[in-house]
Chain A
Amino acid sequence: MNRYFGNARLVLPGEQQPVEGSLLVEGDRITTINTGADDRSDGAIDCQGRLLAPGIVDLGVFAIDKPAFRFGGITRAALMPDQAPILDLPAMIKHNAVDGKPDLWSHPIAAATKGLEGQQLAEIGLMQRSGAKAVATGRRWIADSGIMLRLLQYCKSLDLPLIVHSEDAGLTGDAVATNGETATRLGLASATAAAESLSIARDIALVRETGAHVHFRQVTTTDGLELIRAAKSEDLPVSCGITPAHLLLSDIAISDFRTFARLSPPLRNEANRLACIEAVRDGTIDVISSGHDPRGPEDKRLPFAEAAPGMAGAETLLALSLTLVRDGIIPIGRLFELLSTNPAKILGVEAGSLTPGYEADFILIDEDAPWRVDARKMAAAAGNTPFDGLPVQGRVTAIYKGGRAY
């Protein structure tokens, strides 16, 4: 079946600003992109001048949460292996790979080690055969550098990217916050932000050794970003990501023991936050993802240190990321490289870009539509957002996966 989407402002690869045009879908693929004024009216879907952008590819969510993903314009989500049970067997990858189809594609990420314990390699090759597009250490750190080296050698041979969580657990210990005035005032166990750069430095040394692709899922500190920048200038195969929370909030957000702002890695100070913004501007950061982890009151209405880390981020991902465009940090074209194109590239899937031949995953956006984040009225499985009450702009008006609306 052919479908024609006309009168749109297209976010096209290589273009920083939207281009007026139209898009033809045959089956589940994009076949033709026309720029310039519309000449067809029969049977065309009129996009009413809306922004038409590639569907968001959310690299690293902790739950498949379709209502939230639909609201947020997410057409593909890479599921972290930190599930119960942990995704460390081929059968679990197979089971989770069909979750959400056909309107949402889930890409389960293989656990790097059995039980994510960091001690024994998991069956990465078999999990790849079952559909895993990437491997991850979960929210943990592999302390044993010998295991880490062998893991990277293995990933390299299978051409799988390794997604790592960068916190040296010896430094973080039982910490739930970053060292600083807020943590000390609240009496919360805290750790130095250097826990991040220390772990990144080791992993970069091992990338240099093995040539494996490492994606640092969240880099949140000045020093960590500096290391990534240097590694990229060496042409090492590294990439890194961040969530809107670390771009927009500093550790002050945990004041009053707000457990919705308990994240992993924890929020940093203002200087680090500004360094993250700068790293988005200069291209050091490749991916913005939601880190979506809906947690109900049983996990969050607890004393801060006992609460689970994580936030429901899928619905707010686009609107919060659009503030980077409005603030003049990056153009809209670059934003969708961060949200869609680069994550799809890391996963090795033909999506995330309005390119003929690619999967027809795209969204229509009213980028000025104002709304207010309301933790009580979220589409997500739980409303644990640190942005409760924040007025934002930009919402998805339609979402297409493989050319079909859902």
Chain B
Amino acid sequence: MTSQKTASSQTFPAGSDAFPHRHLLGIAGLQPWEILFLLEEAKQWVDLNKKSSKHADKLDGLTVINAFFENSTRTLLSFEIAGKRMGADVVNMHAAQSSIKKGETLIDTAVTLNAMKADAIVIRHGSSGAVQLIADKVDCPVLNAGDGRHEHPTQALLDALTIQRRRGEISGLTVTICGDVMHSRVARSNIYCLTTLGARVRICAPPSLLPAALDRFNVEVFTNFDEALKGSDVVMMLRLQNERMNGDFIPSPREYQYLYGLTRERLELANTDALIMHPGPMNRGVEIDSDVADDLENSAITEQVEMGVAVRMACLDILTRKSRGVEGWS
């Protein structure tokens, strides 16, 4: 890992050439070195977050608005902590309390947020493309914290960072993503991120939850979880939303658990010491059994949460470099 760190840090272009984007709306379209640069930058914040004093002052005086139009506890908390640790003034806007409920259009909300002169806006929205719509209307960098089924880029970055720290290089690993891929922005961002970084990605889902045209995504598609697991180095489980288990997509939770639940027995099919991941929150006993989720050696689920804060700190830092006048970032 150390050798990779030195090697990669030398290969990044200088200044903003390393990440020449105004916003982070998705992983699709990012170059492999741009992703690696974000991961490399996050590593310093992993170290800082382990100290007793976790404060950096890079974003001192800057205002970060977390505009969450869809309920979230974990991601919102993670972004809030990330912003505060970087020294920014962080304001959270919850849709439940906002004028969106009063019928204000998204564009009007965007213009309003812009008028507050935020230095970065973090947005989660239930509709695919909504974050890009807002990003087009504001003057500051926008971070996508999840839009509909489209993308959740910081989740993919934190997953990649977790895999990197546990397994070294991502290139060449076989990663199986299993669950409700059709409705999952996490799956989409991870497909882009992991395939871009050279992993072999396997997608496993019940046929009713597989999106169309996956053959165009450079992944292997399975509907049999046992087959998908054979030879996997990383097993990434997705959350199955409760409302999908009522018979529309899945007959019942117990049938889902029988066919697609990650049990200890089933995990034996994967490579020895396969890494176990889940973006949370977990349905224990449905998509993942507790003894697998809590495996001391190979479950990286809590580490994913830890990496989340570091990755988000790095993203806030990098995207505000231009406005902060950091040398080379124009």
Contacts and interface: CB of A to CB of B under 8 A. Distances in A.
B35 to A, nearest CB: 18
The majority secondary structure among interface residues of chain A is: helix
A301 to B, nearest CB: 5
Contacts of B212: 179-181, 183-184, 190, 192
A186 B128 contact: yes
A257 B216 contact: no
Contact of A297 (B107, B151, B213, B217): B107
A298 B103 CA distance: 11
Interface in B102-133: 105-107, 125, 127-130, 132-133
Contact of B128 (A188, A192, A297): A188
Contacts of A297: 107
B48 interface: no
B100 to A, nearest CB: 12
A298 B129 CA distance: 16
A182 to B, nearest CB: 8
A303 B130 contact: yes
A190 B212 CA distance: 8
Interface residues of B, number: 24
B127 A305 contact: yes
A98 interface: no
Contacts, number: 70
B148 interface: yes
Nearest to B188: A187
Given A181-B213, A186-B150, A187-B149, A301 B28 contact: no
Interface string A295-319: 0011001111110000000000000
Contact of A303 (B125, B151, B214): B125
B22 to A, nearest CB: 15
B251 interface: no
Contact of B129 (A184, A190, A192, A304): A304
Contacts of A302: 105-106, 133
A262 to B, nearest CB: 11
A187 B150 contact: yes
A303 B148 contact: yes
B278 interface: no
Interface centre among A184, A192, A301 (most CB of B within 10 A): A184
A188 B105 contact: no
27 contacts: A179-B212, A181-B213, A181-B216, A181-B217, A183-B212, A184-B212, A184-B214, A185-B28, A187-B147, A187-B151, A188-B148, A188-B149, A190-B211, A256-B132, A257-B128, A257-B132, A257-B133, A301-B105, A301-B133, A302-B105, A302-B106, A302-B133, A303-B106, A303-B147, A304-B128, A304-B129, A305-B127
Given A188-B148, A257-B132, 8 more contacts: A179-B212, A179-B213, A180-B213, A184-B211, A187-B128, A190-B212, A302-B105, A302-B133
Interface of B: 28, 105-107, 125, 127-130, 132-133, 147-151, 185, 188, 211-214, 216-217
